C-alpha cells in the first residue's frame, strides 16, 4: 500500500464504522452500494458486493429473517476473496471462518441468539481511523447492537422511498413509456 495515498476509500471506512459502531447494517448497504455503482471499474467490485451481502445478511439475521440471512451469507461466501480482504486491512482467513461458522449456525434448527460480528481488522492505522470516526459520531467502535432501537432493526420498512420512486418514474419517462 502506497504511503503517499490513502489506500482505503472513505466509503469503505464509513462502512466499517457503521458495521462496528452504529451497527446499522442497512446503512452499510447504502454506503457501499453507492460507492460500488460510482466505481464500476474497481478491481474490488465483487468484494464490495460481498461486503454488502455480509451486512445485509446480519441485518436479516438480527430481525429474525433466517432464510434471508442464509441466502445473503451464502452469496457473500461465494464472492469472498481473501487477498482482497487482506488488501483492505482484514484478516481474510479469519473472516471466512467466521462467515462459514455463522452460516452453519443460521442453518441450524436450534437457532442461536443474534450476536454481532466484528470484522478482524489487521491494519492498525485503519482500526485507529475507524475508532476516531466512531468517536466523532458519539459511538464506541465495537459496541453491541441496540436491540431496542426499532429504526435500526426495521430500517428498510421505515425509510423514505420517494426519491427512489421519482428516479424510477423519470427513467421510465426517458425511455418513452
pLDDT band at 164 (very low <50, low <70, confident <90, very high): low
Query: Does pLDDT of 104 surpass 60?
Result: yes
Are 19 and 27 contacting, i.e. CB atoms less than 8 angstroms apart?
no
Mean pLDDT in residue range 38-63: 96
* Amino acid 115: pLDDT: 93
* Amino acid 152: pLDDT: 83
Sign of the torsion formed by the C-alpha atoms of 45, 46, 52 and 54:
negative
pTM given for the model: 0.85
Mean pLDDT in residue range 42-48: 97
> What is the overall mean pLDDT for the chain?
89
Work out the percent of the chain whose per-residue pLDDT is above 90.
75
Residues 118, 107: Cα–Cα separation, whole Å? 20
pLDDT band at 3 (very low <50, low <70, confident <90, very high): very low
Per-residue model confidence as pLDDT tens digits over 51-88: 999 999 999 999 999 999 999 999 999 999 999 999 99
Name residues whose C-beta falls within 8 Å of residue 36's C-beta, 6 or more positions apart in sequence: 42, 45, 48, 49, 52
Per DSSP, 119 falls in state -
Query: Does pLDDT of 2 surpass 50?
Result: no
Amino acid at each position: 500500500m502506497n504511503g503517499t495515498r490513502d489506500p482505503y476509500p472513505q466509503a469503505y471506512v464509513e462502512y466499517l464504522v457503521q458495521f462496528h459502531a452504529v451497527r446499522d447494517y442497512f446503512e452499510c448497504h447504502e454506503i457501499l452500494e453507492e460507492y460500488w455503482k460510482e466505481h464500476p471499474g474497481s478491481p474490488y467490485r465483487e468484494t464490495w458486493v460481498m461486503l454488502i451481502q455480509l451486512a445485509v445478511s446480519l441485518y436479516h439475521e438480527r430481525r429474525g429473517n433466517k432464510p434471508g440471512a442464509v441466502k445473503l451469507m451464502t452469496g457473500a461466501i461465494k464472492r469472498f476473496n481473501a487477498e482482497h480482504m487482506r488488501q483492505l486491512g482484514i484478516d481474510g482467513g479469519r473472516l471466512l471462518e467466521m462467515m462459514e461458522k455463522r452460516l452453519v449456525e443460521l442453518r441450524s434448527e436450534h437457532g442461536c441468539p443474534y450476536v454481532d460480528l466484528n470484522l478482524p481488522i489487521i491494519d492498525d492505522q485503519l482500526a485507529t481511523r475507524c475508532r476516531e470516526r466512531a468517536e466523532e459520531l458519539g459511538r464506541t467502535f465495537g459496541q453491541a447492537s441496540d436491540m431496542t432501537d426499532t429504526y435500526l432493526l426495521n430500517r428498510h420498512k421505515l425509510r423514505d422511498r420517494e426519491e427512489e420512486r421519482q428516479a424510477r418514474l423519470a427513467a421510465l419517462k426517458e425511455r418513452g413509456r
